[in-house]
Structures are given as structure tokens and as C-alpha cells.
Chains A and B, each alone.
Chain A
């Protein structure tokens, strides 16, 4: 047998593996490595079973490259759903000779099987799937061991006792990453009904194999303690890998130390600041400026909840004053231009500080357009629409059913404009918006009812972690707006890149984590609260049909979802630490830092007449931040005396024209100026 395997290996190398496949899988990551993209996965290339570099010498076009997978497709006799062109191709290409070869190879592998680990095997082979990454799609088998992808290619040589999953030509995609969940965000002492167990279960059922949850400390709480609380809870309960964003509820010196610690020791590289929630979380522009500056030094991504809290507070008061107390008051007091305004301001701040800005929860057309325009001007800004804004709209706030209307309450609110979801999908498809979250934060009706007499007290949060990938497929890919690669990008890869998880997450490649989904583009499902994983009574997508869904979900190399059955295990989720300075966000920023260095003009010292004014500047106090900021104490500006011999060359034509002096000039002790030529 060893001999045979060896020969078959050699045969593989030279004849079977197509050049286009070998290239990206083997050399691709290595090229990236030089740019530091692989830095976050230590030891990703260790314990490989096959030296892939040998595969780089495939023979070009001598054979139909996809024959292997086609064969299996025919053999199994279970051609589920193929597009007509694929079916035709396979029937044309499948020559009898090839079929024989394929069969014999399959025999070899299975005959050597010694163990049978009935589904809980550490070793898995996904056969005959079409691997879809964000950059390309290709037919290949994927071999998984110890929770990592060990081999990608055709006719892999794998050890015995491997559980084989027949993908039957279906899409094999990197598991989804939901960048925005709030599974522990307490509200007035009550916890959301979906905790890390319930929430991650729902995530897995929807094809999402990693979540990034928001740590939401209250003002005055220690960020570090809150982080540890979250981590502890998640370690106990999460069924899939997770990471954490930390929200900054207020800005002060202590926070700075904690942030530094979180970035350097705890593996956190993203923090959220709030422009809304006046008198609670909201930061002033000065605080935002300082926070942005500080987070930029740490190399973190700044997440912004963008709504103008001052205006919202005023509008809420006005609307309550009009006697509007129901959930419709929520969108009425938070019109979308208030969101767009804050987005614009956040981007302006980001530009000034030269810091990447990430807008969480893009809910309206105007906010999305503002992001689009800023990107056209070169701003480093990312936008995250969520399941809700992509699949439903704010007309439900006017439902006569209070509980239903309240179920939609989230901030920024869903836009009452019914064309919003379509517009956001278009921007997502063209790359103007980058990632899709869910902002899953489920409260029961009785919790929502805390605000039954006052919409400002309704706890904010909606579901969406389970439905996220399905709706993007249904509304963007099935509608022809987006291709499958972009689908992978917005549901998984971009998130991994922005938050420095790539390529450990967000890609099917050798060395990456075995978080994989076999996706069925044709399955149709009707969303209903009766069948959902979430514990909430309402599902805001109730009754909507969604085309496309996971057939099988692998998390950490384990089958956790198969044929509609969930095998999630509480506590298996690992915390994934993230390093600062993600290239995807910071590479441009670093270059701009070098370019943007500003210099003063070298001039002689002005020694002309100076008006006498009150010593205490009465007019403008230009830098009051000096009060709070430790960095802005101003040392006297240093003048390079070697450069102080001014010259008038290069000045304007009129520089030497004698001027009439104004009246009331106080002649200074040093005499008249030789610079200003006051005549």
C-alpha cells in the first residue's frame, strides 16, 4: 500500500492538479505573508501532511481539471441541485477512463480505513465541493484534522479512518463571522433572553461560525472587569469561537490605561464609542477626538455608534410632549438624517486624526450614502449594515400590535423608507459597505414592555444572527446583485480582515481554522419564531421567505449542524485574540502618517509694532482641551535659529509695496519692523 500511495501521489502531482488551483492555495498565502497578512496565525504551516509546494508544477490544460469531483458526483447518484451548465459539463467531460481511475482511488483510501469514529472524528474530508473564497471559486476537496484545514486540492492523500462528507458540488464557504452581537448587554438589570449559548446556537444554525460580541460596561465600570466577565460567561457557554469588542462608556484617564492593557495583553483590537445616548454613553467631539487619537496609537479599530444624541434627546422630549408614547415615537425621534449627520461627523474626526473608522449598524440610505461619498474621497471608513436593515424596514413601528412594534426597536432605528434594504444591498454588492453584522440582542416581550408607556424606555435590540447569511444570499446573490465571492467577502472575509483574524478565519486555505459551511443556494425556508433557535417570542422577519441556507456547518472541525439538526456543544467556543494594527485598516493610515507631516513656514521673527491688549486673552480660548488632555500642554515653540535669517525671495509680487500704516499704532520698543515694510 505505501508504494501504491506513493505512486498515486506522484501521479497526482504531475497530472491531476491544475495549475490555477495549485497557485492560489500554495503560493497565495505565502505571498501575503510578506505583507504580514499571515502574522496572526502562528504555526499555521506546521504539521502539514503534504508538501504543497510540489504541486506548483501541475500540467497546464492537459486534462479537464474538475474531472475528479465530477466523477464522484456521478458515482453517488445523488446530483442534488446543479445549474444546467454544470450538469452539461460533467456529462460531457466524464469519460469512462477517468471514472475508473476515480473509483480506484476512492477504493484505495477507504480500504485502508481502520477506525470508525462515527461523526465525532477529528479527521474530516469534504469531497467534491466547490470551494468559494472571497477572491475565487474552484473545485477541490478539503481535508481537516485537529480543527484546522490541512489540505485543499483534488485527489488528496489522507490517512485512513477519515469521515468523508460528500458535498456533491455544492458551495463550500468559510463559516460566517457575525461582527456585531450583544448577548450579554443588560438593560436596567435584565439580561437578553439569548445568552452566549442560545445566541451561538442560533449563529451556527444560520451558518455563522464565529461571533464578535460587544462588551458593554456601564459608565463607571471597569472595562477590564467587564471584559473578564464577558469572557468568563462566553467560555462557559459559547458553542462557537468568539471574540469581543469593548464599548467605551465614557472617556477618562483610567479608561486609557485599561484600553492599553486590553490591546496589549487581552487580544482586543476594536472599541466602540457612542455619539448617542446623551448623558450616559455619549462623548463630546473633543472626547471623540482624544479617543480616536489614542486608539489610533494603539492600532485599534474605532467602532462608532453614529447618531446625534443631543438632537435625539430634544426630539424625544418633543414627541413625548405631543403625547406619542408608543414604539412609533422611536423612529420619529431618531430620523435618519440624525444618523447621517453623526456618520459625517465621525468620518470628519477620523480624517482629522487619520484613524480608521468603522460605523456599526448602518440603518439608512443617507448614512450609507455618506459613507460611500467619504470612501470616494479616500477616507478609511467601513460600514456595517445589519440583518434587520438588509431585510426589513421601519414601517412595522406603526403596527397596532404593541409587542410586535416594540420588537423592532433598535438604534439607529429601521428606516420607514421601504426602499432601504434594496439600496443597502446594492452598496454591499459594490463594496461601499463591507461587512454584515446582526446586532443580535434579543429581549422578550415582557422586557420590551418596560417601555410600554414611554418608548424611550423600550430596551433596544432585535434578532438576526441566525437569519443573517440567508438574507444576504436571498436579497443580494439570488437577485443577481452580488456574486458568491462577494457574498463570502461580506459575510466573513472582510470581517476577518478588518479585525485581524485573516486568514485564520474568513478563508478556506491550508492552515486556516476548519470553520466551514456547505451552502445550499436553493433551499427555501420561511422564517418564523416557532422554528428559530433564539429564545425570543418574536422574530422580526416573521413570515419572510429566505432562499439559501447551510446544509452542513463545521466549527473547529466538528460537524455542528447537519440536515437541520444542531449538535452544538456548550462551552466549546474559544476566545480568539486579535492583534492590533490590522493591515486592512491600518496600512493606508501608516502611509498617510508619513505623508501628512506638516511643517511651519520659516520666517524671521516679527518685530513690528504690536497692539497692546489685555494680557488675559479675552477673545478665544483656543485649546481648552489643555484642561483635560495631558498631551496638550504646550511647550514654547522652538525656533531653529539657524533658519531664522528670513528672506523675501519667493514672496508675492506686492510684498515690497509700501503700505500706509493704520492709525493707532503703538510703536514698539524695538522700532519699526523690517519685515513688514511699514512705510
Chain B
């Protein structure tokens, strides 16, 4: 890491050695008063009266909270879109992240359908390595599915340090996958220890609804939310959970935007499904009433998918579920377009580029809406903004915890600071901020990233290009411990029976009406019978199987082997 230090220089370069004195350390499990000593970007000592070398820069925390830096598990920085790019690149976006107390982001690699996943991944790596101001990791979106993609996914898991892949249930004829494909992707990821992320919306119904809205003459941004009602989100979440449960694969639902979707997740968790829900800054902080704004540009700036729910009680509800642990992590889905870019869809809401801001506001917003309202304690705050994400990505305890040996990504949190969000002062390059005018209590006072102070006294000292790629390894315990145990339980066994040698009706397969068409395509047309087990007996059936039954029905073909002794046809 010292290599980076050499490159830094400049007026804001600080010593590699830092001591935070008098802070209250808040992890996801407990809070305690202790000093923290950091060196070379790592936490070296925690405790009272630490013995530290000389020349250490000391920060007086004065009893304020010291928390692990936030992890924004969902961003789209520098995302290409129809020949343009989102206005926040990795530099701008990660600067905004740091300003809000987030010291690591996880960006989505979005390959075009048909394009190579690995090439796209390498491209994203290059962009991020050039510009990111904080550590980052990557999800890779699987936008189509075939054997070569399978190979690439395998490669990404084994060699590239990617353990989470997003699939789409929406965007018909583009990203959308069929249920069969989802089943195959989930099965594959479950074998390789990946996390299946889903964009959960029913793309087919959306396509129909969009056509209907346009036909009714609704072309403005309100058409976006009208054509994507929240039950379509809930439906897809329900389906994704069903498929994941069938394939015994951990599921991660990105962007939980509505009460019904969140309810489905929370019900599934109560039934024991391994599913994680990710509400985003926007769904936790605002609602979809703005789609009806008379200001087109403002309405368009809220366009994201799934859309914000027009139900104004949604944010409060999602904050409650986040506090109770039914929803696990928070992202921002930060994906900002300028008004001119949004205006691509000025005559047709289906053409409006989708994306909202939120990377900078994320932590303060949760503090304000959940902690200050008494829904959530400070430890849960750390869990949902940082620790749980680190666990899912298998980065824990390197990230997401203040402990000896962890990365020195810390935030001194000021619980009482009050800020008003406005596009004039935010760090994003977007003209609009969807939280415009919202007053938030709670803000980072000092942000330390890789052991260096990047925010102090309201001044941001982010350096482009210092962000490192943090590889994620497969089979994170947080998701896979339960999966592994269930795999052992869920072994299915056939019932040992004698061969049926009774009469068989004549039938014709030519009459195209076989209800089990999968048999046609099934590779296992010749079922294997274990002959060692075929010695049937009528001795101990649990139910009276040997009740005499009526003579056989009509049209019986007497088989060459004579009548069955199994079915007792008399």
C-alpha cells in the first residue's frame, strides 16, 4: 500500500499513522469507548492508553461515534448508455460517496447482451482503477445466458474476485431471462458459491402495460410508474424466491422499492428462505408522487426501475423492515443522468434513461429516518449501512468492522449535524437531486479511507485513482452456511419397488399431446434402476396397500409376461 502513499503528495497528504482518541466505537454487535491506532491503511491497535510511535496525527473524537465506513453495495458509475455515459464517473461518484461517509462502493458491470462478461469486467476495472477515490468491488450482470457465459462466470468467480451476479426479470427482449434460464443460472451459481442478485419486475406484463399507457396517450414520466405498478415487483420477487428455493441458491433482491415487495421478502425469510433485500436511498427517503410533477425534468429525474412507489407511507415502512432485520442491506443504485440525457424520453417515457442519485445521501438518510426516529439502534445502523454488505460479499471482517487487522475505513459520525440536501451543494454532477430540500440530521464529521483523512472540517480531499479493487471470494458464510447444511438434507431418494409388469394401455405418442414435454428434451430418457433394491415386498407398507380392488378396466393389453403380482389385479 505504500506505493499509493508515494503517489499522493500534495497539500492534503497526511501521515500514514493516525490515532483517533476518545471515540465511541460502534460495530454491528456492540459499542464501546476506545482509541484506535492505524498504520499503513490498517487498524493496528484498539484500546485505552495505546502505546503508539511518535509523529502520529491525532484526531480527538470527543466521545463521538466512530463507525466502520459505509459500503454502498449498489452503484452505476460511469455507466455507458446508448452512446452516452452517466454524468457521475468513478471519480465524481466515489467523491460523493466519501462525502457521505461511504468508503467503499460496489459497482455493477453491465455488459451488452451478447458481449463478453470478462471483457466488460476488465473494462470496468480499468475505468475504476483510473478514477476511483475509494476501494471498490464489482458485481457482474448476466445479461444473456449460454454455455460460454457459464464459462465466463466460472472464470470470474475463480480468477477475478467476483462473487455476485445480477440477472434481470424485466427488460423484455433485452436483458430479461426466462424462468428456465433463471433456474439454470441459480443452479450454476449455487454450485460455484455465487450470490444471485435479481432485478425483480415482471418484464412481460410491463411491456404490455407500457404499450397500453402509450396507447392511452400517456407519454410523460407518470407513465413509467403507471406501467410498473408495485405488484409486478412483488410478483417477480415471489417468483425469484421460488426459483431460488428450488435451486437452493442464496438470493439477493436489488432495489426493494415497494411495501409489497418488501413484505414478500419478509414472509419468505420467516419461512426460512435465504433471501436478502436491498432497499435503496431513494425508496427509503422519498416516494413516487413526484412522477406527477408538472416540471417534466423534475419528474423525469425520479425515473428508475422498479419505480418509486406513489404510496407516501412506503419509506417509513421500508425503514421499519430494515430496522427489524427483514431487509438486510442498503445501496443507492446511484445512476445519474443529466436532464438532457433524460430528455431522450421526452415524448415517450419508456425511453427515459433510468437512474436516481443517492450515494452521498444514503447514510445520513438512514440515520435521520430510522435512528433518530427510534426505529433502529446505532449498531443496526452499522449493520445495514456496512457490515451486512461486507458479510454478503465475503469481505468481512476486512471491511464492515472496526477491529485489529481490518482496513482503516472509518467514519466519525456526528449525530446532531443538520444539513439540507440540495443539488447546489451536492458532489454529484447531476442538475437534480431527488431529495432536494430535505433536511437530514446526522452526517460524517471525519472520513478516513485507507487510513487517510479524506473529509475533515467539511473539506473533501479525495484523490482520484487511489481506489483499489477488493476481490470477493465465493461461498460467503453469511449466505452459504445454511445452503450447505440444506444441501445435505435435501437428498431425494426413489421408492424401491418391483418393476410394474401389469398390463399397459396402447397409446400413441404421435398425438402431439404429451403433457410432459420435458421428457422429449430430457437427457435422461433411460431411467436408471438400482437392481439391488428391486426386490419388492408387500410386507410392511404403511397403508393397507393390499386391499382387493376391482377387475381391471376396459382396453387392457395383456402383456407377454402375464399379469402383475404387484398390483394384485385379479
Which residues of A pack against B, CB within 8 Å?
186-190, 193, 218-220, 277-281, 284-286, 289-290, 308, 310-317, 319-326, 328-329, 332, 335, 337-338, 340-341, 344-345, 348-349, 351-352, 395-396, 398-405, 411, 444-447, 449-450, 452-454, 456-457, 460, 528-530, 535-538, 542-543, 598-606, 608-614, 617-626, 629, 631-632, 634-635, 637-639, 646-648, 650-655, 657, 659-666, 673, 675-676, 678
Bound CA span A314–B234, Å: 23
**Other-chain residue from A323, A530, A535, A657 in contact with B494 (beta carbon distance below 8 A):** A323
Contacts A277-B515, A323-B527, A446-B553 given; does A652 touch B202 at CB 8 Å: no
Give chain B residues whose Cβ lies under 8 Å from the Cβ of A638.
217
Are A454 and B294 neighbours in the complex by a CB distance under 8 Å? no
Bound CA span A257–B347, Å: 35
Closest partner residue, chain A, to B493 (CB atom): A324
Does any Cβ of A come within 8 Å of B246's Cβ? yes
Give chain B residues whose Cβ lies under 8 Å from the Cβ of A624.
172-173, 207
Are B294 and A537 neighbours in the complex by a CB distance under 8 Å? no
**Complex A-B: 16 CB contacts under 8 Å:** A188-B509, A218-B513, A311-B242, A317-B522, A320-B519, A326-B495, A326-B497, A335-B246, A401-B538, A445-B553, A449-B502, A450-B504, A457-B519, A610-B340, A651-B293, A652-B293
Task: List 14 additional contacts besides A189-B506, A535-B554; criterion CB under 8 Å.
Answer: A314-B518, A326-B494, A326-B497, A401-B566, A444-B555, A446-B503, A449-B502, A530-B548, A537-B550, A601-B293, A609-B339, A637-B219, A660-B424, A664-B340
**Other-chain residue from A308, A606, A664, A666 in contact with B242 (beta carbon distance below 8 A):** A308
Within 8 A of A (CB), among B298-322: 298-299
Does any Cβ of A come within 8 Å of B556's Cβ? yes
Are A449 and B504 neighbours in the complex by a CB distance under 8 Å? yes
**Other-chain residue from A219, A321, A340 in contact with B523 (beta carbon distance below 8 A):** A321
Does any Cβ of A come within 8 Å of B62's Cβ? no
Give chain A residues whose Cβ lies under 8 Å from the Cβ of B509.
188
Closest partner residue, chain A, to B351 (CB atom): A617
Closest partner residue, chain B, to A343 (CB atom): B238
Within 8 A of A (CB), among B378-411: none
Are B492 and A332 neighbours in the complex by a CB distance under 8 Å? yes
Are B207 and A622 neighbours in the complex by a CB distance under 8 Å? yes
Q: How far is the CB of A93 from chain B (nearest CB, A)?
A: 49
**Total residue contacts A-B, CB cutoff 8 A:** 430
Give chain B residues whose Cβ lies under 8 Å from the Cβ of A445.
502-503, 552-553, 567, 569
Closest partner residue, chain B, to A338 (CB atom): B242
**Other-chain residue from A399, A402, A625, A659 in contact with B431 (beta carbon distance below 8 A):** A659
Are B492 and A324 neighbours in the complex by a CB distance under 8 Å? yes
Are A651 and B207 neighbours in the complex by a CB distance under 8 Å? no
Are A349 and B83 neighbours in the complex by a CB distance under 8 Å? no
* Contact size range, B: 35 or more
What mask results when residues 213 to 231 of chain B are scored 1 for a CB within 8 Å of chain A, else 0?
1111111101100100101
**Other-chain residue from B296, B346, B500 in contact with A403 (beta carbon distance below 8 A):** B500
Give chain B residues whose Cβ lies under 8 Å from the Cβ of A603.
220, 294-296
Are A452 and B424 neighbours in the complex by a CB distance under 8 Å? no
Are A400 and B513 neighbours in the complex by a CB distance under 8 Å? no
Contacts A290-B208, A647-B294 given; does A600 touch B220 at CB 8 Å: yes
Does any Cβ of A come within 8 Å of B82's Cβ? yes
Are A676 and B296 neighbours in the complex by a CB distance under 8 Å? yes
Q: Which of B16-24, B42-50, B179-187 contacts A (4 or more CB under 8 A)?
A: B179-187
Are A529 and B549 neighbours in the complex by a CB distance under 8 Å? yes
Are B552 and A537 neighbours in the complex by a CB distance under 8 Å? yes
Bound CA span A456–B424, Å: 64
Bound CA span A190–B513, Å: 11
Which residues of B pack against A, CB within 8 Å?
81-84, 87, 171-174, 178-180, 183-184, 202, 204-220, 222-223, 226, 229, 231-232, 234-235, 238-239, 242-243, 245-246, 290, 292-299, 338-341, 343-344, 346-347, 350-351, 353, 422-424, 429-432, 436-437, 492-500, 502-509, 511-524, 527-530, 536-538, 541-557, 564, 566-569
**Other-chain residue from B174, B341, B351, B511 in contact with A218 (beta carbon distance below 8 A):** B511
Give chain A residues whose Cβ lies under 8 Å from the Cβ of B340.
608-611, 662, 664-666
Bound CA span A663–B215, Å: 34
Give chain B residues whose Cβ lies under 8 Å from the Cβ of A313.
180, 517-518, 521
Are A662 and B338 neighbours in the complex by a CB distance under 8 Å? yes
Give chain B residues whose Cβ lies under 8 Å from the Cβ of A632.
208, 211-212, 215
Are A348 and B232 neighbours in the complex by a CB distance under 8 Å? yes
Give chain A residues whose Cβ lies under 8 Å from the Cβ of B432.
659
Closest partner residue, chain A, to B353 (CB atom): A619
Q: How far is the CB of B494 from chain A (nearest CB, A)?
A: 4
Give chain B residues whose Cβ lies under 8 Å from the Cβ of A193.
553-554
Are B518 and A661 neighbours in the complex by a CB distance under 8 Å? no
Q: How far is the CB of A281 from chain B (nearest CB, A)?
A: 7
Bound CA span A553–B494, Å: 45
Q: How far is the CB of A455 from chain B (nearest CB, A)?
A: 8
Are A675 and B296 neighbours in the complex by a CB distance under 8 Å? yes
**Which of B178, B210, B212 is the most central at the interface, judged by chain A CB atoms within 10 Å of its CB?**
B212
**Other-chain residue from B216, B431, B514, B564 in contact with A457 (beta carbon distance below 8 A):** B514
**Other-chain residue from A219, A444, A651 in contact with B554 (beta carbon distance below 8 A):** A444
Are A311 and B246 neighbours in the complex by a CB distance under 8 Å? yes
Give chain B residues whose Cβ lies under 8 Å from the Cβ of A338.
242, 246
Are A188 and B514 neighbours in the complex by a CB distance under 8 Å? yes
Are B504 and A600 neighbours in the complex by a CB distance under 8 Å? no
**Other-chain residue from B184, B520, B547, B568 in contact with A542 (beta carbon distance below 8 A):** B547
Bound CA span A598–B209, Å: 12
Are A399 and B543 neighbours in the complex by a CB distance under 8 Å? yes
Contacts A311-B242, A323-B529, A606-B297 given; does A316 touch B554 at CB 8 Å: no
Are A623 and B229 neighbours in the complex by a CB distance under 8 Å? no
Are A320 and B495 neighbours in the complex by a CB distance under 8 Å? no
Contacts A285-B204, A661-B338 given; does A635 touch B215 at CB 8 Å: yes
Give chain B residues whose Cβ lies under 8 Å from the Cβ of A660.
423-424, 431
Q: How far is the CB of B309 from chain A (nearest CB, A)?
A: 15
Contacts A445-B567, A657-B422 given; does A611 touch B344 at CB 8 Å: yes
Q: How far is the CB of B300 from chain A (nearest CB, A)?
A: 8
Bound CA span A631–B422, Å: 44
Q: How far is the CB of A442 from chain B (nearest CB, A)?
A: 8
Are B513 and A280 neighbours in the complex by a CB distance under 8 Å? yes
Interchain residue pairs A-B with the least CB separation, the first 8:
A662-B338, A444-B553, A456-B516, A310-B179, A285-B204, A403-B567, A676-B297, A622-B350
Bound CA span A274–B368, Å: 48
Give chain A residues whose Cβ lies under 8 Å from the Cβ of B567.
401-404, 445
Are B239 and A345 neighbours in the complex by a CB distance under 8 Å? yes
Contacts A337-B246, A404-B545, A652-B290 given; does A663 touch B429 at CB 8 Å: yes
Contacts A405-B495, A445-B553, A600-B223 given; does A619 touch B82 at CB 8 Å: yes
Bound CA span A599–B505, Å: 60
Give chain B residues whose Cβ lies under 8 Å from the Cβ of A320.
519, 522, 524, 527
Bound CA span A444–B502, Å: 12
**Other-chain residue from A189, A454, A675 in contact with B507 (beta carbon distance below 8 A):** A189
Are A308 and B179 neighbours in the complex by a CB distance under 8 Å? yes
**Other-chain residue from B183, B214, B548 in contact with A314 (beta carbon distance below 8 A):** B183
Bound CA span A621–B542, Å: 57
**Which of A193, A609, A619 is the most central at the interface, judged by chain B CB atoms within 10 Å of its CB?**
A619
Q: How far is the CB of A219 from chain B (nearest CB, A)?
A: 7
Give chain B residues whose Cβ lies under 8 Å from the Cβ of A278.
180, 517-518
Contacts A193-B554, A218-B512, A312-B518 given; does A634 touch B527 at CB 8 Å: no
**Other-chain residue from B343, B522, B545, B557 in contact with A400 (beta carbon distance below 8 A):** B545
Are B503 and A449 neighbours in the complex by a CB distance under 8 Å? yes
Give chain A residues whose Cβ lies under 8 Å from the Cβ of B341.
611, 662
Q: How far is the CB of B160 from chain A (nearest CB, A)?
A: 26
Bound CA span A542–B549, Å: 9
Closest partner residue, chain B, to A442 (CB atom): B553
Q: How far is the CB of A581 from chain B (nearest CB, A)?
A: 22
Are A537 and B505 neighbours in the complex by a CB distance under 8 Å? no
Contacts A606-B343, A652-B293, A666-B340 given; does A600 touch B218 at CB 8 Å: yes
